[in-house]
A and B are shown apart, each in its own frame.
Chain A
Amino acid sequence: MIPKALIHHGRQLGTFLGLIFLCLILWILTPYFLTVSNLLNILEQSSINATIAVGMTFVIITAGIDLSVGSILAFSGVVLASTLQAGVPLPVALLAGMLTGTLCGLLNGALISIGRLPPFIVTLGMMSIARGAALVYTNGRPISGFEQSFRWIATGKIFYIPMPLIVMFIVYFIAHIVLTRTKFGQYAYAMGGNEEATYLSGVNVRFHKTMVYALCGLTSAFAAILLTARLNSAQPIAGIMYELDAIAATVIGGTSLMGGEGTLVGTLIGALIMGVLRNGLNILGVSSFLQQIIIGTVIIIAVLLDTIMKKQKR
């Protein structure tokens, strides 16, 4: 008899095995892959995409999509940077960045749930608007050079663990609890599974849908904090194409674009798969052109396997 846990988490287990398989291959191909410092390296490099993917997971679970995460990241980042340089205390500056991201997300959510506009179109528009806002706000120039107290978010360590990892895990932990143990999380699954039935069950769909997109804006802002601290610079052109990596991580992790199912554990594994892949290909010296082909292929294979497994279940 298959243990209950395996049935529930079968999909995540499969993705996890995929990650292990990938690591195994890389371990055989190069001795530089499986070292502690490289693994920490990978986790650090994946942290930004993984953080964005948290919000993206919620959005896709509601059967929506958010193409504006990269632009929101850029806009939040430059607002954060400018307030930091204006001498504002660190917590306030962080708040300013987070607020920027959340407001952009709120706007997305409102247009989608109250305005009844398709998420693809709304977030496509926001992608442009937030990017433009970032460029206008900074006149196109990056804002660089921050205090060590801020940079510590990316460069610091607690018990030898790099800070970005700690931030990422905290975000995932909290988000996981919200998704699996709160009303809000349940409503997200329900709206994605059948929005009409959820509405007719008396759930305030408008409000909760809007909040999901606001959450996605917030996680993009978190990612902006990490990125800005890491590069010591906030560029208005940062984050271009980041939405694709976030969607890829979410989908590889088992979240269905049709909505109603998905887990954050899966998304984290998906983000790690992408991070391991990129890192491994770099280390193997594979040209960046070939890298693009390989990564695209992996995404397609992952989704293909997922579809096949789902068909077999029936």
Chain B
Amino acid sequence: MKEINSNQSQKLLEMRKISKSFPGVLALDNVDFDLNAGEVHALVGENGAGKSTLMKILSGAHQADIGMIRMEGRTLKIHNPRIAQDSGISTIYQEFNLIPHLSIASNIFLGHEPKQFAGFISKKIMTKETINILAELGLSINPDILVRNLNVAQQQMVEVAKALIYHAKILIMDEPTSALTTAEIETLFATIRSIQLKGVGIIYISHRLEELFQIANRVTVLRDGKSVGVFKISEVNKKDLIRLMADRDLKEYYPRIRSKVGKTILKVSHLNRGNYLKEISFHLKQGEVLGIAGLLGAGRTELAQAIFGVNQIETGKIFVKNSPADIISPRKAIKAGIGFLTEDRKHSGLVLKMSVKDNISLPNLDKLSKYGFLKRKDLKNISLKFIEEFRIKTPGINQKVMNLSGGNQQKVVLSKWIARNLDILIFDEPTRGIDVASKVEIYNLMNQLTAQGVGIIMISSELPEILGMSDRILVMHDGKITAEFDANNVDQETLLAKALGEVA
């Protein structure tokens, strides 16, 4: 009789003594990581801790300098993503790898299309298999629908289906819930559990520590490129994790210090824009943080864009400091004293190719130039000032921002707006994708700003953040403002309910 015992005690995945360095930085230092079949193993750590590098090594995008990877007992040399995929390792990234103008079926089978004789793609087989795999995930969508017509949650399911089609044994999920509603998250978790039953091992990367306690079996914490602990999820709590991640006892996770509230600096009345904004009216006072809560699609970013002049409103008025403002472009908005930190800093907040100095000065060049000529000394000094004040980690003012970490990039974005001394700042997801330490710094900055009398509108999808940092909270649903609360007098469930559109 053949011994099959060894198979059962064999781990699905073992990564041993993985080290990797890039020019100037040791990204991973002797890291061990393992995964059992049918397990959800969470991987947490601040940005820059090494999570994504570790996963990139596993998925073939990078090669480790030192170390060994074993899958089901066999040593693997993962030289490129194709080998990883063929070995059964699939990754679902935060920004999906889908082709918007192709159908669900085409996306799922991209690169692996089932072929008939003479090399023609068999659409029939593709469609049938797509329906099958979607059904396994509990979905019954028409496989011919174009991916761009799906919502985020559905697209994510397509990504999962893609992985399953390749008979993935290991599924890496990177921040899978960041763009999902609570209901969608539940569906995702149900899907994950069903995949677990098939023996698939899932590596789950997330900043949302609360979720881990719902879905993960074990958790590994990385800090500064090293593994600082592997635990069963029942052995730890959120505070423990935070402490391990940051090596700091962050007493005030949300250190909001309320400032004295002054006069009304922004008043919006009866704003309408198609289906996106319906009869929006609210006001903002000096020194106040106004949080705007709501689910994806509620219209929060559209509201910000309307106030900032990116999209034209159809009806309604905006008053800045009690005088009407005709805001038809970002330029006009800035002139009126409004600044906008966008949701996606890489896409619309920064010019990645340009330096820290040039990014900070970009909205301020008219003040930093004379007769069209740049005042280079002033440019330099302003940049140095903000690097110091905000503790931006960069080798110098001429470093290209694309080389900075997420948190530092966000600080550059902040600097460029603060340099302008605006009265009103709109923050859209200000701490998304940022490590814990930087998050706290940004919150402290918000405190400083409001102490100076700046009014802040903060849009966030993280309810704890909204509750922790706002003074007042508006909830939006389906383009309307459905509720207003004082942050001290409301809890997460009520906010969630209002965001979901519940009336009571």
Residues of A bordering B, CB below 8 Å:
8, 181-184, 186-187, 189-190, 193-194, 196-204, 260-261
Contacts and interface: CB of A to CB of B under 8 A. Distances in A.
Contact of B354 (A181, A202, A260): A260
Contacts of B416: 201
Given A197-B362, A200-B348, 19 more contacts: A181-B374, A181-B376, A182-B369, A183-B365, A189-B353, A189-B358, A194-B350, A196-B348, A198-B362, A200-B340, A201-B330, A201-B416, A202-B330, A202-B331, A202-B363, A203-B331, A203-B362, A203-B363, A260-B351
Given A181-B374, A181-B376, A200-B310, A186 B362 contact: yes
Contacts of A260: 351, 353-354
Interface in B322-339: 330-331, 333-335
Interface in B350-380: 350-354, 358, 361-363, 365-366, 369, 372-374, 376
B272 interface: no
A221 B280 CA distance: 53
B97 to A, nearest CB: 20
B198 interface: no
A186 B349 CA distance: 16
Contact of A197 (B331, B335, B349, B361): B349
Contacts of B2: none
A190 to B, nearest CB: 5
Of listed A181, A183, A203, A204, residue having the most chain B CB within 10 A? A183
Contacts, number: 76
B342 interface: yes
B347 interface: yes
In order of increasing CB-CB distance, the 4 nearest A-B pairs are A193-B351, A201-B363, A202-B334, A260-B353
A183 B366 contact: yes
B486 to A, nearest CB: 32
Given A190-B362, A196-B348, A183 B331 contact: no
Interface string B98-141: 00000000000000000000000000000000000000000000
A241 B353 CA distance: 32
A201 B416 CA distance: 9
9 contacts: A183-B374, A189-B354, A189-B358, A193-B352, A194-B347, A197-B351, A200-B308, A201-B330, A201-B416
A184 B372 contact: yes
Of listed A181, A182, A200, residue having the most chain B CB within 10 A? A200
Interface string B383-417: 00000000000000010000000000000000010
Given A260-B353, A261-B353, A200 B366 contact: no
A261 B354 CA distance: 9
B349 A200 contact: yes
B347 A204 contact: no
A76 B500 CA distance: 64
A186 B358 contact: yes
A202 B365 CA distance: 10
B374 A182 contact: yes
Interface in B10-49: none
Contacts of B333: 202
Contacts of A201: 330, 362-363, 416
Of listed A182, A194, A202, A203, residue having the most chain B CB within 10 A? A202
Contacts of B373: 181-183
Nearest to B351: A193
A194 B351 contact: yes
A183 B322 CA distance: 33
Contacts of A190: 351, 354, 358, 362
B372 A197 contact: no
B161 to A, nearest CB: 32
Contacts of A8: 398
A203 to B, nearest CB: 7
A194 B352 contact: yes
B362 A196 contact: no
A200 B330 CA distance: 6
Nearest to A199: B330
A203 B352 CA distance: 17
B351 A198 contact: yes
Nearest to A259: B353
A183 B373 CA distance: 6
Interface string B45-57: 0000000000000
Contacts of A199: 330
A75 B363 CA distance: 38
A260 B352 CA distance: 9
Contacts of A196: 347-348
Contacts of A197: 347-351, 362
A262 B362 CA distance: 18
Interface string B420-441: 0000000000000000000000
B372 A183 contact: yes
B311 to A, nearest CB: 12
A8 B331 CA distance: 32
B330 A183 contact: no
A190 B353 CA distance: 9
Contacts of B310: 200
A260 B366 CA distance: 20
A109 B496 CA distance: 49
Contacts of B334: 202
B307 to A, nearest CB: 13
Contacts of A261: 353
B63 to A, nearest CB: 15
Nearest to B374: A181
A190 B335 CA distance: 20
B374 A186 contact: yes
Contacts of B351: 189-190, 193-194, 197-198, 260
Contacts of A183: 365-366, 369, 372-374
A96 to B, nearest CB: 26
Contacts of A202: 330-331, 333-335, 363
Nearest to B358: A186
Of listed B310, B354, B361, residue having the most chain A CB within 10 A? B354
A175 B20 CA distance: 45
Contacts of B363: 201-203
